[in-house]
Structure 1
């Protein structure tokens, strides 16, 4: 079964994201979804990550099919959610004081894909991703968090720890290795 990888990324997470994306094999049997905390600001993350891989890295678009071997980035100002084999975008209320937020993605992925989901919380301020990561784990998915000592801004990793015990705290390099093994 195709893995669904969902990533919460905020302050201090660009380098870890690059490490994780560059570790993905080509071809990759997973679909990867990234929520960066950029609010409504212009975002060049897809272009930056595309330099690290031969996989397709694009802004998600509403009502597009989920494709294997693609990396989807939530566009500025939109929450990204998953339905059965489709991506949905909306400009609903801010969640955890931000839009896009990771929790809407994590919760919808857990509801739709259950044990196929790998949730990852990287460096950042606040609590975004913590509740969603707990639900991913409850639904049989894998909950990974960036090592607290490595995270430049450990707020989100700490929140994930306090919400529930993730399966592992790993460096970005080890997260990349773990994800690559699932995608190969």
Structure 2
């Protein structure tokens, strides 16, 4: 049985509401770490506080070099890419990728490279195509891939571009249940 214990989530325009809904539906005993990239640029972000208040899982901006642990939500801080290096999160001030800083692809590609089948990649609402190459890398490494149904997304570009690499295309209402099932190694009936 595959142990999927690292969830990488990417979102952009309209993502805060979707992330809030998703986090509010996750259980306190989730046996996975969650790393989130929400396009915020160099501006301050209160996303960790919003997510921390939304549900039972503790959320905070990631700190360079910190080990990731189950049951925690790590949010990429403004103006830094978040990467996976072994069992740690790294922050990178390198150039923009896909016009974004933080960008989704660096997180997904590094997670796929470092953790392979342990990763669940999730692409939510957003414009342009950040996350597509990263989701393709997660898929190629044997990780599980989920895309928000583009038909219900505030901004359809990112999910529509990522659909070819999706194991599951789901409405927001079904995302938490699928994530829980994948992290527990079970099946999920929609």
TM bucket by the smaller chain? over 0.9
Question: How many residues are treated as equivalent by the alignment?
Answer: 182
1-structure distance, mates of 2:180, 2:144 = 14
Tell me which residue corresponds to 2:128: 126
Cα RMSD of the aligned pairs, angstroms, is 1.1
Tell me which residue corresponds to 1:50: 52
1:44-80 Cα distance to aligned partner (Å, 9 max, x none): 1011111111211000000001111100000000000
- The two structures have a TM-score, normalised by structure 2, of 0.92
1:18-69 Cα distance to aligned partner (Å, 9 max, x none): 1211121112110000001000011010111111112110000000011111
Tell me which residue corresponds to 2:174: 174
Tell me which residue corresponds to 1:89: 91
Map 1:89-168 → 2, pairs under 5 A? 89-161=91-163, 164-168=164-168
- The two structures have a TM-score, normalised by structure 1, of 0.95
Unaligned runs of 5+ in 1: none
Decide whether the 8 Å contact of 2:67 with 2:88 is kept in 1. Answer: yes
Unaligned runs of 5+ in 2: 185-190
4+ residue stretches of structure 1 with deviation over 2 A?
A: 180-184
